Amino acid sequence: MNKTKRMMTGVVAAMTVSLSACGSDLPPEPEDTDCDDWDWDEETGTYYCDDYDSSYYRGYYYAGKFFKSKSSLKSSSSYQSYSKSYQSGIGSGTKGGTGG
C-alpha cells in the first residue's frame, strides 16, 4: 500500500508540473469550504490560503494535504520530490523549462 501511495503522489506531482507547462494554466484551486481565497505561490508551486477568517489562513495545500506553514510543506518528502522538478524549471516556462 505504501508503494501505491508514493506512486500516486508522484502522479499528482507530475500532473501539477504538466499543468504548469501550459504557460499560465494552473491546477484547480482546492475545494475546501473553510477557505474562500486560495492563491498560487510561485515559489513553492502550490496554493496557499489567503482567507483571514479561515483556520487554514497562511497554510499551504499540496497533493490533497494541508500544511500549516511553508516550512512544514517543505519538510514533506512528497513535496521535496515535486519541488526538485518545479524549481529546476521543468514546465515552469520561465525558469528554463520546455513549457508550451
Check whether 78 has a pLDDT greater than 50.
yes
Q: Does residue 21 fall inside a structural domain? A: yes
Q: What pLDDT is recorded for position 37?
A: 94
pLDDT 10s digits, 7-17:
555 555 555 55
Number of folded domains in the chain?
A: 1
pLDDT top residue among 36 and 87 = 36
Q: Is 98 inside any structural domain?
A: no
Query: Do the domain assignments include residue 95?
Result: no
Q: Judge whether 97 lies within some domain.
A: no
- Domain holding 37, by residue range, is 2-87
C-alpha torsion 12→18→19→22, nearest 10:
180
pLDDT of 3 over the 80 cut: no
Q: What is the pLDDT of residues 40-73, one digit of tens each?
A: 999 999 999 999 999 999 999 998 899 999 999 9
Phi and psi torsions of 33, nearest 5°: -75, -15
Is 52 inside any structural domain? yes
CA distance 3 to 52: 37
Give the whole-angstrom CA distance, residue 91 versus residue 71. 24
Is there a domain that residue 96 lies in?
Answer: no
